[in-house]
């Protein structure tokens, strides 16, 4: 490469990566609006926490080689849809589907792909709801539609997935059978916990609603 070619390449790459960062900024605003408005209307917040990340250039290159893709920016944009990633953690499974529907309902969001690993967990026990969406980004001289991967999960699903990820890398992807079996059992326990916590929360909701109605009746007398 000549110095000029290198300069051009660096500028192109920086601009390419910036678009993904802007997409996350847009999504951050959307998610904050949903959170605030939902809190105001329903008096609770369905989102526990949100993490945003742009894939590192090393990790993008890894995927290019792993998937045997052409090493060019158009090919990367076409084939790697998780350069911008968001992980939303909720307390309850119903919240996951509420968030998903609220996002899907927005006019400028196009859903490219949706994978429900909650209804159909992966064989290892992994559960999460995955969406690949596209949103428009308006820049100084152009509009671009940028893909964003959104993973929505409960705290229990997230706890399981982060430990599984650590174990997978610790054993360099060759996890001993007994650990795989225990991970699968832990995934089942996490799924049971999700159901139990939601049931408790619903019961508390009924109790709160009953108390509110009783108060109203007393005040009304």
- Hey, which residues are catalytic here? 149
52 binds ligand 0O2 (CB under 6 A): no
Q: Between residues 30 and 115, which has the closer beta carbon with respect to ligand 0O2? A: 115
According to CB under 6 A, which one of 165, 181, 199, 212 is a site residue for ligand 0O2? 165
For CA atoms 179, 184, 187, 192, the dihedral sign is negative
Is residue 23 helix, strand or coil?
A: helix
Where does this chain touch ligand 0O2 (CB under 6 A) — which range of 4-12, 22-30, 69-77, 161-169? 161-169
How far, in whole angstroms, is CA 193 from its chain's centroid? Answer: 21
158 binds ligand 0O2 (CB under 6 A): no
Report how far Cα 91 is from the mean position of its chain's Cα atoms. 14
Q: How far is the C-alpha of 142 from the C-alpha of 18, rounded, in Å?
A: 13
Q: Which is nearer to ligand 0O2, 66 or 142 (CB)?
A: 66
Residue 173 CB, nearest approach to ligand 0O2 (Å) = 11
Q: Which of 82, 95, 158, 194 binds ligand 0O2 (CB under 6 A)?
A: 82
Query: In the bound complex, what is the minimum distance in angstroms from residue 164's beta carbon to ligand 0O2?
Result: 4
Question: How many Cβ atoms sit within 10 Å of the Cβ of residue 5?
Answer: 9
Q: Residues 116-135: x/- map of binding to ligand 0O2 (CB under 6 A)?
A: ------x-x-x---x-----
Distance in Å, CB of 126 to ligand 0O2, minimum: 4
Residues near 189 by Cβ (< 8 Å), separated by ≥ 6? Answer: none
Q: Residue 159, interface with ligand 0O2 (CB under 6 A)?
A: no
Identify the burial level of 68 via C-beta atoms within 10 angstroms of its C-beta, where 0-12 means exposed, 13-18 middle and 19 or more buried: exposed
Taking a C-beta distance cutoff of 8 angstroms, is the pair 69, 79 a contact? yes
Query: What number of other Cβ atoms are within 10 A of residue 91's Cβ?
Result: 19
Interface with ligand 0O2 (CB under 6 A), residue from 115, 167, 186, 198: 115
Distance CA 60, CA 40 (A): 40
**By CB under 6 A, is residue 184 in contact with ligand 0O2?**
no
Question: For binding to ligand 0O2 (CB under 6 A), which residues are involved?
Answer: 82, 115, 122, 124, 126, 130, 161, 164-165
């Amino acid at each position: 490469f000549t110095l000029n070619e290198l300069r051009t390449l660096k500028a192109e790459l920086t601009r390419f990566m910036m678009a993904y960062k802007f997409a996350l900024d847009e999504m951050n605003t959307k998610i904050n609006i949903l959170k605030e408005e939902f809190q105001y209307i329903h008096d609770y917040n369905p989102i526990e926490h949100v993490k945003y990340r742009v894939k590192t250039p090393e990790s993008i290159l890894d995927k290019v080689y792993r998937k045997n893709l052409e090493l060019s920016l158009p090919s990367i944009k076409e084939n790697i849809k998780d350069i911008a990633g968001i992980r939303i953690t909720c307390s309850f499974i119903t919240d996951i589907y509420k968030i998903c529907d609220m996002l899907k309902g927005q006019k400028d969001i196009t859903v490219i792909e949706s994978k429900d690993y909650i209804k159909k967990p992966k064989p290892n026990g992994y559960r999460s709801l995955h969406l690949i969406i596209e949103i428009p980004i308006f820049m100084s001289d152009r509009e671009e539609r940028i893909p964003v991967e959104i993973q929505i999960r409960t705290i229990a699903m997230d706890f399981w997935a982060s430990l599984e990820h650590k174990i997978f890398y610790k054993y360099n992807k060759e996890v001993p059978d007994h650990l795989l079996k225990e991970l699968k059992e832990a995934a089942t326990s996490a799924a049971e916990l999700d159901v139990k916590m939601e049931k408790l929360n619903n019961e508390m909701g009924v109790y709160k609603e009953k108390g509110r109605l009783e108060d109203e009746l007393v005040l009304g007398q």
